């Protein structure tokens, strides 16, 4: 059965392009994942399609209202069960490979894209099961972050990538960065590919790759070895 991802957003047009090209497009065409975009303004309760309001207690910035979000999430939940309801926010857990691996095993996921000064806290208290951030910085909205999350998860679904082992050898899958990679020509301007990679000796190649992965991690991301 295909994974289903429902994305709740104020700007659905921002999310159309990422799913219309490359790996994500092929995953959808293969029937391995379904992407459904929901314009939050369709769930507004007044004629102005209002989905935000001033925050109680004063302060700069608007807050996304609970009622439209409740109507959207509750409507989706009435049709099927969801494994996670994710809120994209800078305050969430930083996305890493282990989170993507876990989510790739799920069946149905809702992603809520934040905007303005965020959502009414009651949304987080009552509906959200996981909060995810793509880094310690602030974006104009959660749409681009949601696209990043979807890309990192969908590529792990069996059958999405042409080579099933490709995702398993990515950086971070084993807690290390990936080793260096090379392709033809074997010599270019005097710059040569390591001889072991041309030897055809599989055990030696794997040993070299493991050593290089460790060296690469120690040099670039020593924090991962801690």
Shared-domain flag, residues 104 and 206: no
User: Which of residues 123, 154, 185 is at a domain's end?
Assistant: 154
Residue 179 shares a structural domain with residue 98? no
- Measured CA to CA, the distance from residue 65 to residue 117 in angstroms comes to 11
Query: Could you tell me if 85 and 184 lie in one domain?
Result: no
41-74 pLDDT tens trace = 999 988 889 999 999 999 999 999 999 999 999 9
Q: How far apart are CA 67 and CA 72, in angstroms?
A: 9
- Among the three residues 154, 185, 208, which one is the final residue of a domain in this structure? 154
CA-based max dimension of the chain: 70
Q: How many domains does the chain have?
A: 2
Rounded (10°) CA dihedral 69, 71, 76, 77: 100
CATH at 17 = 3.40.1280.10
Q: Which of 124, 126, 146 is nearest to 134 (CA)?
A: 146
Residue-number span of the structural domain to which 183 is assigned: 171-225
Whole-structure pTM value: 0.90
Same domain, 95 and 137: yes
Give me the percent of the chain exceeding a pLDDT of 90: 90
Same domain, 32 and 102: yes
Low-confidence stretches of the chain (pLDDT < 50) are none
Q: What is the DSSP string of 37-86?
A: EEEGGGG-SSTT---EEEPTT--SSEEE-HHHHHHHHHHHHHHS--SEEE
Same domain (yes/no): 217, 121: no
Given this model, what pLDDT does residue 226 score? 85
Return the pLDDT at 214: 96
pLDDT reported for residue 27: 97
Q: How far is CA 122 from CA 70, 84, 149, 167, in A?
A: 10, 17, 24, 37
Q: Which DSSP state fits 169?
A: G
The reply to whether 147 and 209 lie within a common domain is: no
Count helices and strands in the chain by DSSP H and E runs? 8, 9
Q: What phi and psi values does residue 112 have, to the nearest 5 degrees? A: -105, 125
Q: Which residues pair with 33 in a beta bridge?
A: 3
Whether residues 105 and 187 share a domain: the answer is no
Q: Quote the pLDDT of residue 118.
A: 94
């Amino acid at each position: 059965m295909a994974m289903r991802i429902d994305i709740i957003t104020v700007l659905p047009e921002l999310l159309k392009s990422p799913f219309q090209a490359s790996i994500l497009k092929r995953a959808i065409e293969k029937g391995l994942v379904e992407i459904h975009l929901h314009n939050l303004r369709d769930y507004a309760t007044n004629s102005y399609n209002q989905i935000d309001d001033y925050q109680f207690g004063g302060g700069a910035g608007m807050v996304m209202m609970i009622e439209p979000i409740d109507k959207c999430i509750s409507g989706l939940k009435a049709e099927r069960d969801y494994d996670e309801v994710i809120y994209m926010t800078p305050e969430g857990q930083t996305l890493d490979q282990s989170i993507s691996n876990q989510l790739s095993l799920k069946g149905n996921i809702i992603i809520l894209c934040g905007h303005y000064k965020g959502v009414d806290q009651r949304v987080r208290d009552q509906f959200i099961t996981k909060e995810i951030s793509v880094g310690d910085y602030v974006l104009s909205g959660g749409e681009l972050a949601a696209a990043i999350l979807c890309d990192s998860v969908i590529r792990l679904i069996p059958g999405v990538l042409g080579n099933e082992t490709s995702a398993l050898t990515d950086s971070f899958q084993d807690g290390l960065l990936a080793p260096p990679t090379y392709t033809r020509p074997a010599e270019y301007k005097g710059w040569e590919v390591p001889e072991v990679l041309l030897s055809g000796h599989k055990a030696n190649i794997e040993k070299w790759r493991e050593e290089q992965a460790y060296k690469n991690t120690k040099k670039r991301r020593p924090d991962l070895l801690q």
